[in-house]
Amino acid sequence: MIVQDYVTLAGTITNQNSDSLWIRSRGYKKIIKVNEDGTFMDTLKVEKGSYRLLDGKEGGTTLYLKNGFDLKLSLDTKEFDETIIYDGIGAEANNYLAKKALLNEKEVNLKEFMSLDRVSFDEKLNTVNSKFKSLLGSTKNLDSAFLANEENVIEKMSNQLMVMFERKQALLAMNGQASPKFVDYENHAGGNTSLDDLKGKYVYIDMWATWCAPCKREIPFLKEVEKAYHDKNIEFVSISVDRKKDYEAWKTMVDDKELGGIQLYSNRDINFSKAYKVSAIPRFILIGPEGDVVASEAPRPSDDKLKELFKSLNI
pLDDT tens by residue, 274-314:
999 999 999 999 999 999 999 999 999 999 999 999 999 99
- With pLDDT > 90 as the criterion, what percentage of the chain qualifies? 92
Domain definitions of the chain by residue range: 1-89, 108-174, 185-312
N-terminal to C-terminal alpha carbon distance within the chain: 77
CATH class of 1-89: mainly beta
User: Is there a contact between 159 and 129 (Cβ–Cβ < 8 Å)?
Assistant: no
Please choose, from the candidates 176, 204, 217, the residue with its C-alpha nearest in 3D space to the C-alpha of residue 315: 204
Distance CA 31, CA 24 (A): 9
pLDDT at 32: 94
pLDDT at 78: 86
Distance CA 133, CA 107 (A): 13
Q: What's the average model confidence in pLDDT over 52-80?
A: 88
Assign domain 185-312 to its CATH architecture: 3-Layer(aba) Sandwich (3.40)
**Model confidence over 134-185: pLDDT tens digits?**
999 999 999 999 999 999 999 999 999 999 999 999 999 999 999 999 999 9
**Model confidence over 203-241: pLDDT tens digits?**
999 999 999 999 999 999 999 999 999 999 999 999 999
Please choose, from the candidates 78, 87, 30, the residue with its C-alpha nearest in 3D space to the C-alpha of residue 54: 30
pLDDT at 3: 64
Beta bridge partners of 192: 186
pLDDT at 58: 60
pLDDT band with cut points at 50, 70 and 90 for residue 60: confident
